[in-house]
Structures are given as structure tokens and as C-alpha cells.
Structure 1
Amino acid sequence: MGDLIMGPRLYGCYKCRNHVAIHDDIVSKSFQSKNGRAFLFSHAQNVYSGRKEDRQMMTGLHLVADVHCADCREVLGWKYEKAYEESQKYKEGKFVLEKFKIVKQNW
């Protein structure tokens, strides 16, 4: 019997199951949000960003935009638009999705 070919392990919106991220795009699993654990992703799909605003985070001041599911409009996390501190620049352009707002799909 041949090897079973699996597609990418995906994450979906917890409300509508819209695919929003791929497991291989996780940069870090050690992020925190107000509501618990969160993952830093290099990319996200089927989402849109809200208004950009300066937000004081645990790691300093950042320009961020809330990230919404493109299907049901639920806020899933945020996107780092700009980091003001040099040590935080690696976050720019990346997405934080809250663990309780995404569900594993195709695992």
C-alpha cells in the first residue's frame, strides 16, 4: 500500500471553519494575548485587517491592526504593522492568532 499523502495541517476560524493559517507558518507558540496563549504566524489567509493603531503590548509599543475572519468577521488576533523597538522588528508583517479562536483542520 502506498504512502498516504496528506495536505498541509491547517487552522480554521473557530466559528465558521474558514481556513486562516497553515501550521508550517508558525514562527512561535509562546505568545500571550489578554485571553491566553497565541501563536505568531508568518502568514495568514482569508482574513482582513482592521484599522491600524498604536497599542501598548507586553513587549512595548507597536502599531497593530486587528485581524478578522473574511467569512464571519470574527476578530481572531492582530497583525504587527510596525515595531518601534529594534529588538521587536522581527514581528513586523506577522500575524498573532489567539489559540482559542482557531481550530485544527486536516490533522
Structure 2
Amino acid sequence: MANLGGPRVYSCSNCGNDVSLRDDIISKAFQGRTGRAFLFSHAMNIMVGPKEDRQLTTGLHTVADIYCRDCREVLGWKYERAYEEAQKYKEGKFIFEKSKIAKENW
């Protein structure tokens, strides 16, 4: 597992495993299952589950849940495909639920 140990890292709030960098945040204006969520361009130390079509606030998307590689906690999802042209920018990006991640070394 990568452990950056540097500033501006987000980690799994359950086990402390580093999962993304602050600099990878695209937007903080997203909604997850448990409330507020952030859209990230990159993620690390995660596992990606099976793809499924899901009707989200912004339309139909193919997504896959993402899990902490260490403790297996569901952290959010990865956008695999957006069916509407205006949503294509999300493809390959990651949603992390704010309640599932914690700031480290800020």
C-alpha cells in the first residue's frame, strides 16, 4: 500500500489508509449516499467492485463501488460511464463520501 505521509492527504476514516490527495479534488459539490461527497480525479489503495447501472441525481451512470484496500469499507464509487453528454467529464473519476474519509497531516 502506498503511504504518502505528507501533507494534504485524505485517508479512510475507518482504518487510516491513504486513499487520495487534496490536489486531486475536482469538486466538493456532490451528493453521496450518506450526504456530502467529493469528486476526485485519482484514488489509491482502493478496490473497485463490479459495474452496475445506477440512476443518480444527474441521470443514468454505470458505476462501481470503491472499497478501502485495507479494511474493505465502502468509500464511494467510480464513474465508469455517463450516458448524457454533459456528464461525460465524470468518467474514470471517483466519488468519496465525506463521512468515509478524513484529512491527514493538514
Q: TM-score, normalised by structure 2?
A: 0.94
1:58 aligns with 2:82: no
CA contact (8 A) 2:40 2:94 kept: yes
Aligned-CA RMSD value:
1.1
- How many angstroms apart in 2 are the aligned matches of 1:34 and 1:16? 20
Match of 2:3 in 1: none
- How many angstroms apart in 1 are the aligned matches of 2:34 and 2:22? 21
- How many angstroms apart in 2 are the aligned matches of 1:75 and 1:22? 18
Match of 2:18 in 1: 19
Structure 1: 5+ residue runs without aligned partners? 1-6
- How many angstroms apart in 2 are the aligned matches of 1:27 and 1:8? 18
- How many angstroms apart in 2 are the aligned matches of 1:21 and 1:12? 7
Larger Rg: 1
Cα distance, 1:30 vs structure 2: 0.2
1:15-73: CA deviation from partner (whole Å, max 9, x where unpaired): 10000010000000000012110000000000010010000000000000000000000
Match of 1:96 in 2: 95
- How many angstroms apart in 2 are the aligned matches of 1:28 and 1:66? 19
Match of 1:4 in 2: none
- How many angstroms apart in 1 are the aligned matches of 2:33 and 2:10? 20
Structure 1 runs of 4+ aligned residues shifted over 6 Å read: none
Alignment of 1:1-107 (within 5 A): 7-107=6-106
Aligned-partner residue type, residue 35 of structure 2 = G
Structure 2: 5+ residue runs without aligned partners? 1-5
Identity %: 68
CA contact (8 A) 2:40 2:95 kept: yes
Aligned-partner residue type, residue 18 of structure 1 = N
Aligned residue pair count = 102
CA contact (8 A) 2:7 2:104 kept: no
